Structure formats: structure tokens, C-alpha cells
């Protein structure tokens, strides 16, 4: 099947280096300490953060840093066919672990010993790149909760189909069987916290694809920064400052 | 106490923004020092605030802070004065739920323990816990330490610490008459408590 037309357009009309439309909203779950909805094209994800709060399971308490827990689940209606087991299956457990490790690297956990930070992420609509959308949503929710972080973590995926590196794969391109590289970085500090790939790629092409994903991450970071600044200004305006 | 000069800039900082070099500024709340390149970065989203160093200090660097919009609940620190409600009284200790730390109330409850030897400063081995506290009393105490895994260690062993308010068996709020007794306004009966002066 042709994923990139001879004119250089993808199935949804994007150019190979073009990302999908980003949209984010903060403070959507009033009860949570921080929350955000993040959309990348048709993929829509909601994240809620509770914490720092007292550890519920004393045996897991860490005396010198905060405990970070993460739970990823997909809503039954998020994919075309109704899902039978949205939580607890292997893919969800793996993605929960991945998101937890990624966010733990950027939260300043030593500032909050003996406490717990819970990150809940749920996919409302899945169209490829759910892992990345979840990490971006979790970053926004953590910033909204006022949890001290080293830097944002932004994530983006890139692939290689029809001999072209493609940025931000959607579901159809993801299921094509080609390589899918997911990168998570700390944009200002220029450090990589997540790097995953399935399928195989020669090393030189891999470098190109990874560099493309990193640029996508930096563009998402600019957008997130803008959303947070706008949100802070709105809050100050409402407080009459 | 000298006035500290505080300057609030129009700048909005987000996590990861560079606030200055370690040689020029000190990281305060909402900022941190990255040891690998000696730069001070922001860790919260909010306005940047520069606080001048106190006049007598040897360190001449101003402190840079980021004021976030989310207020976190207070957390008891060793040395802070807390208000707690007594939940259990046993022969050698009393258990209390910490309600306020200083002037701020807490978001979620913390548990504290007042041990027999920490109730008062004199004759600490002759303390009768049931003559000092009863369940339901509101006490002002000081946090001794983070304690064990279950509770903070509290102390009322000072003149200004002890039972602030208590209910008598008749149900009325009692009035303190001395540092060991409180009186019920309805029945006139005195009940023993560790009062504050």
C-alpha cells in the first residue's frame, strides 16, 4: 500500500515532516490536584494528577523521595471495536511502567520524601501515538498541579515508510508494520528520557528518524509552554492581579 | 528585622527555563541548581521573584524563586507549632490528628503521638495521661521530629503548649482555671487537663 504519494502527501494529506494538530486544555478535572486533556490529531487523552499526598501503602513508602505511581488505561470506546479489557492487559501494564519511569526522571522527587504522586492517564480516542499523547498530557497535568520538575517531558513518534521518515504516525501508518520510534526528551536540558522502537532500522536511517522525532518533541514543548503561560495569565487575571 | 527587598518581574517561568548562573543567583522555592552545568533552572510555572540577600550574610547572591499558583497544603516540620485533636489516650501516650500547621490548615490529616515524657517539663515520669488529655480535646503542640512510619512525635512540654479547648462530659466548652484544671460552665465541675498558661 502507498503511504506517501508521489507528490509527497500522506494518507491524511500531511507532509512527511508535518505533525498533527495539537490542542491542550488544563484544569479539566476539578477534584484532581492537576489535570489536562491533550489532543494530537484524533488521538485524545486525559491525565489527572493527585499529589503529593500521604503514601497509602506504608510498605512502599520511600524515606528520601516521593513515590510516583502511574496508571494507563484506554476507554472502552476509544478504538473502533469496543474493548473487552481496557486495563490490566500486558500493553497497558507496559505503557504504565514506561510513563512512570519517564515522568519520574523529571520530577524532583527528593523534595517530597515519604509522599506519593499518582498519575492517571486515560485514552479517550486512539488514533496512533497514544503513548506520546499520554506523556504530554501527564507533563501538563503535573505542571498544573504545581509539582516541581526539572523540565517538561515531551514525546513524539516517528516512522519510516516508503523510504521516507514520517513524523507523528497515525493508526493506519502505525499498523503498516514499519518501524515506529517513540522519543521522550527534556527539551531545555536536551536529554532523552524515553526511546522505544519496534521493528528494525539500519543505524543511519535510525539517526534521521530519531532526530525528526526530537524536533517534533521540541515543537510540542513550545506549544505546552505557551498553553501554561496562557493559563497562568488567565488565573492571575481572575484573581485580580 | 531588616526589610528584604523583593522584586517581582513580569517574566513567566515554566519548568526548565534558565533563571541564572549559580555564581550569580541562589535557587529558592520553585527553582533548582543543575550540578552538571551550574545553571539555576525553574521547576514550577509562575512569576519569577528575586529576593535580595539579607544584609548581614556573607553570601551576596540574591535568591530567585518562582511563585506558583497552586497552594500546597501545609506539612508539619520539626519545630513547627501545630494544632491537633486528640483521638486516643493510652497509659503511656496519646494519639492526635494534626489539623493546622502554624496558621495554615492541612489538606489531608497527619497523625501525631504525644508520649508520656513529652506532656510536661517537670516530673515527667509521674504523668497520668488521662489527667492530661481526653479524646476530643484540641491541643497546641510542637513537632519534635518526623517520628516513626506511623506518626509524628509531638510535645506539649512548655508553658504555652497544651489543651486549648475541650468539651466537658455535660457537653459544654470548658474554661481553663489553672494549668491543671478546666471548669465546665454548665455544671461547675472541674476536670483535669494539661492546660496552657
Average pLDDT over every residue of A61-75: 92
Question: Could you report the per-residue pLDDT of A205-233, keeping only the tens digit for each?
Answer: 999 999 999 999 999 999 999 999 999 99
| B97 close to A (CB below 8 A) | no
Q: Higher model confidence: residue B172 or residue A167?
A: A167
A142 to chain B: nearest residue by CA? B44
Name, in order, each residue with C-beta under 8 angstroms of B176's C-beta and a sequence gap of 6 or more. B163, B182, B183, B193, B195, B196
pLDDT digit string, tens, across residues A107-133: 999 988 888 999 999 999 999 999 999
Interchain contact, A146 vs B12, CB within 8 Å: no
Q: Is any Cβ of chain B less than 8 angstroms from the Cβ of A148?
A: yes
What is the Cα–Cα distance from A175 to A128, expressed in whole angstroms?
9
Confidence of residue B5 (pLDDT cuts 50, 70, 90): low
Across chain B, the runs of DSSP E, i.e. the strands, are 6-13, 18-21, 26-27, 31-34, 39-42, 46-51, 63-68, 81-89, 93-101, 104-115, 138-145, 152-155, 162-165, 175-176, 181-183, 190-192
pLDDT at A171: 93
Chain B residues touching A189 at Cβ < 8 A: 16, 34, 41
For residue B89, pLDDT over 60 is answered with yes
With contacts defined as CB-CB under 8 Å, which chain B residues touch A233? 12
Q: Does the CB of A150 have a partner CB in chain B at under 8 Å?
A: yes
Q: Given this model, what pLDDT does residue B2 score?
A: 43
Query: Using CA atoms in the order B173, B174, B179, B181, what is the torsion angle rounded to 10 degrees?
Result: -140
Q: 7-26 in B: which are within 8 Å (CB) of A?
A: 12, 14-18
Written as nine digits, the cell of A2 is 502507498
**Residue A138 above 70 pLDDT?**
yes
Nearest CB among B43, B69, B70 relative to A150 is that of: B43
Identify the pLDDT of residue B97: 94
Burial-class residue A235 by CB neighbours within 10 Å (0-12, 13-18, 19+): middle
Q: Which residues pair with A118 in a beta bridge?
A: A50, A69
Q: Does the CB of A91 have a partner CB in chain B at under 8 Å? A: no
Give the mutation candidate from A143, A185, A222, A223 for the B interface (greatest B CB count, under 10 A).
A143
Whether residue B69 has pLDDT greater than 90: no
| Interface contact A108-B32, CB threshold 8 A | yes
CB-CB neighbors (< 8 A) of A114 in chain B: 146
Q: Give the nearest chain B residue to A27 (CA atoms).
A: B70
Tell me which of B179 and B128 has the higher pLDDT.
B128
Cα gap B39→B134, rounded to integer Å: 54
Q: Does B69 touch chain A (CB under 8 A)?
A: yes
Distance CA A184, CA A217 (A): 7
- Partners of A181 in beta bridges: A158, A197
B58 has pLDDT over 90: no
What average pLDDT does this structure show over B15-24?
92
Mean pLDDT of chain A: 92
Q: What's the pLDDT score for residue A81?
A: 82
CA distance B49 to A31: 29
Q: Is A51 on the interface with B (CB under 8 A)?
A: no
Report pLDDT for A52. 87
B12 Cα to chain A: minimum distance (Å): 7
Chain centroid to CA A35: 13
CA-based nearest distance B66→chain A, Å: 10
3-state secondary structure of A94: helix
**In Å, how far are B97, B162, B171 from B139, measured between CA atoms?**
10, 5, 18
Whether B4 has a pLDDT exceeding 70, the answer reads: no
Work out how many CB contacts closer than 8 A connect A with B. 71
Residue of A nearest to B110 (CA): A54
Give B137 or A239, the one with higher predicted confidence: B137
For the entire predicted model, the pTM comes to 0.80
Best mutation site among B15, B30, B33, B66 for testing chain A: the one with the most A CBs within 10 Å? B15
| Structural class in CATH, domain A22-239 | alpha beta
With contacts defined as CB-CB under 8 Å, which chain A residues touch B146?
Answer: 114
Instruction: Copy the grid coordinates of residue A199.
Output: 521493528
CB contact under 8 A, A146 and B69: yes
Cell of A186: 527534556
C-alpha cell at B92: 503511656
Q: How many helices (H) and strands (E) does chain A have?
A: 4, 9
Amino acid at each position: 500500500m502507498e503511504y506517501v504519494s508521489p507528490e509527497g502527501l500522506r494518507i491524511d494529506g500531511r507532509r512527511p515532516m508535518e505533525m498533527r494538530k495539537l490542542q491542550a486544555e488544563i484544569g479539566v478535572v476539578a477534584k484532581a490536584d492537576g489535570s489536562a486533556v491533550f489532543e494530537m490529531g484524533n488521538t485524545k487523552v486525559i491525565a489527572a494528577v493527585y499529589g503529593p499526598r500521604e503514601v497509602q501503602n506504608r510498605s512502599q513508602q520511600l524515606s528520601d523521595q516521593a513515590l510516583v505511581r502511574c496508571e494507563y488505561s484506554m476507554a472502552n470506546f476509544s478504538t473502533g471495536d469496543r474493548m473487552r479489557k481496557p486495563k490490566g492487559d500486558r500493553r497497558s501494564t507496559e505503557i504504565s511502567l514506561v510513563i512512570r519511569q519517564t515522568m519520574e526522571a523529571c520530577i524532583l522527587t527528593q523534595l517530597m520524601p515519604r509522599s506519593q504522586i499518582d498519575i492517571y492517564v486515560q485514552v479517550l480516542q486512539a488514533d496512533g501515538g497514544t503513548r506520546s499523547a499520554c506523556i504530554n498530557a501527564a507533563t501538563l497535568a503535573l505542571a498544573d498541579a504545581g509539582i516541581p520538575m526539572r523540565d517538561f517531558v515531551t514525546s513524539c513518534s516517528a516512522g519510516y515508510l516508503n523510504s521516507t521518515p514520517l513524523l507523528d504516525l497515525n493508526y493506519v501508518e502505525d499498523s503498516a508494520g514499519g518501524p515506529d520510534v517513540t522519543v521522550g526528551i527534556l527539551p531545555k536540558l536536551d536529554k532523552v528520557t524515553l526511546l522505544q522502537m519496534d521493528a528494525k532500522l539500519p543505524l543511519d536511517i535510525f539517526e534521521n528518524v530519531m532526530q525528526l522525532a526530537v524536533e517534533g518533541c521540541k515543537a510540542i514543548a513550545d506549544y505546552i509552554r505557551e498553553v501554561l503561560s496562557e493559563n497562568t495569565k488567565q488565573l492571575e487575571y481572575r484573581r485580580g492581579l | 528585622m531588616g526589610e528584604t527587598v523583593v522584586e517581582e518581574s513580569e517574566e513567566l517561568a515554566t519548568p526548565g527555563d534558565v533563571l541564572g548562573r549559580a555564581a550569580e543567583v541562589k535557587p529558592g522555592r520553585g527553582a533548582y541548581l543543575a550540578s552538571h552545568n551550574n545553571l539555576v533552572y525553574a521547576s514550577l510555572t509562575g512569576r519569577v521573584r528575586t529576593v535580595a540577600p539579607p544584609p548581614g550574610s556573607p553570601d551576596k547572591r540574591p535568591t530567585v524563586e518562582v511563585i506558583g499558583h497552586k497552594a500546597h497544603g501545609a506539612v508539619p516540620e520539626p519545630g513547627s507549632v501545630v494544632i491537633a485533636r486528640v483521638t486516643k489516650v493510652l497509659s503511656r501516650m496519646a494519639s492526635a490528628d494534626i489539623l493546622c500547621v502554624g496558621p495554615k490548615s492541612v489538606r489531608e490529616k497527619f497523625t501525631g503521638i504525644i508520649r508520656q515524657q513529652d506532656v510536661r517539663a517537670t516530673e515527667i515520669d509521674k504523668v497520668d495521661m488521662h489527667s492530661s488529655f481526653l479524646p476530643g480535646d484540641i491541643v497546641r503542640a510542637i513537632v519534635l521530629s518526623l517520628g516513626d512510619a506511623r506518626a509524628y512525635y509531638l510535645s506539649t512540654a512548655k508553658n504555652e503548649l497544651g489543651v486549648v479547648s475541650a468539651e466537658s462530659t455535660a457537653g459544654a466548652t470548658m474554661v481553663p482555671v489553672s494549668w491543671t484544671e478546666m471548669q465546665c460552665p454548665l455544671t461547675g465541675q472541674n476536670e483535669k487537663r494539661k492546660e496552657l498558661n
